[in-house]
Amino acid sequence: MINFDELTAVCEQAGAELMPDAALAPLTTFKLGGHCKALITLPDAQACQTVYSYLRENQIPYALIGRGSNLLVPDEGYDGVVLKLSGKLSSEITVDEGVVTCGAGVSLKNLCLFALERSLTGLEFAYGIPGSVGGAVYMNAGAYDGEISQVLQFVTILDENGKLRTVPAEALELRYRHSILMERDWTVLNAGFWLEFGNTDVIRDKMQDLLGRRKSKQPLEFPSAGSTFKRPEGSYASKLIDECGLKGYAVGGAQVSEKHAGFVINRGGATFADVMAVCRHVQETVKAQTGYELELEPEILGAKK
């Protein structure tokens, strides 16, 4: 049970904003799901320390979300507090001798544009990934032969004891769609990237080329969480789904994209239950016909890890 009077007072003290009974669908790229008990936006590290400490001490369930691009929210919502980074943690980007440091709430798009404006290369692959820096670090996001692990130098985290720590990238156990953050109660607040100087026109051309490829091959006109299944060892999820004749398979408003079999989309009015029904059918069919087991890539808010 949340004592909203106490929580409101804590947020006011910390300079954080609290919104009770907040709708989560608008905060995700899938545009579906229910409400949370409260949404709190955190403007700086000190606010994070204060609010996290209160939530932990009072055993209130909480979850930090970024731009909601790799997230599924159940129809019944989330029986706890959802946290989002704001202020400097979602806007500030600086550079010093090739090391670009930014808040974890900064969008990958803005980070890539910041690098382009300063002729810094290394992040072109991330242009068009609709997520935040923190989310990208959390899952070691990647595309077109690039991954966050290739350029990440360090992160500043709030650890399980409420302490701020700087952790080098090599300690994060970064591999395909994985980091140690998935197993630890750590929150990324800032990240630093080592980028090299390059030719601005070449950097811009590569970014536009990759963005063009995304638009031509992916169903970006529909809400989704991007690639719905992780790449199985030895094959590709989209190839297996296509070979099983599942393009266009639909339940309610959820559908396997006819443009790209690796995407389950919200073609209008989809519920979480619709999406999960489509995903289960895809997993069962691919397993039966090919032997491959497909694993969901998006996280489910509130699901036990």
CA 288 from centroid of its chain's CA atoms: 30
Residue 235 bears catalytic tag: no
Fold of 4-88: 3.30.43
Average pLDDT of the chain to the nearest whole number: 96
Residue 63 has pLDDT above 90, yes or no: yes
Q: Which residues contact 15 (CB under 8 A, 6 or more apart)?
A: 43, 44, 46, 47
Q: Which two tokens stand for residue 137?
A: 């670090």
pLDDT in tens, 229-251: 999 999 999 999 999 999 999 99
Strand locations in 10-109 (E): 17-23, 35-42, 62-64, 71-72, 78-85, 93-96, 99-103
Residue ranges matching CATH 3.30.43.10 in the chain? 4-88
Q: Which residues contact 122 (CB under 8 A, 6 or more apart)?
A: 115, 150, 151, 193, 194, 195, 196
Residue 27 has pLDDT above 80, yes or no: yes
Residue ranges matching CATH 3.90.78.10 in the chain? 220-300
Position 55 scores a pLDDT of 97
Residue 231 bears catalytic tag: no
Cα distances (Å, whole numbers) of residue 145 to 113, 183, 199, 200: 20, 25, 20, 21
Residue 297 bears catalytic tag: yes
CATH of 91-216, one of 3.30.465.10, 3.30.200.20, 3.40.50.300, 3.60.130.10: 3.30.465.10
Per the residue annotation, which of 227, 238, 257, 299 is the catalytic one?
227
Distance CA 155, CA 133 (A): 10
Specify whether domain 220-300 bears CATH 1.10.10.10. no
Position 1 scores a pLDDT of 83
Q: Which two tokens stand for residue 45?
A: 């590290």
pLDDT in tens, 250-300: 999 999 999 999 999 999 999 999 999 999 999 999 999 999 999 999 999
Per the residue annotation, which of 67, 124, 132, 177 is the catalytic one?
177
CA 17 from centroid of its chain's CA atoms: 22
pLDDT in tens, 127-147: 999 999 999 999 999 988 899
Residue ranges matching CATH 3.30.465.10 in the chain? 91-216
Taking Cα atoms as reference points, which of 25, 16, 22, 26 lies closest to residue 36? 22
> What is the pTM for the complete model shown?
0.94
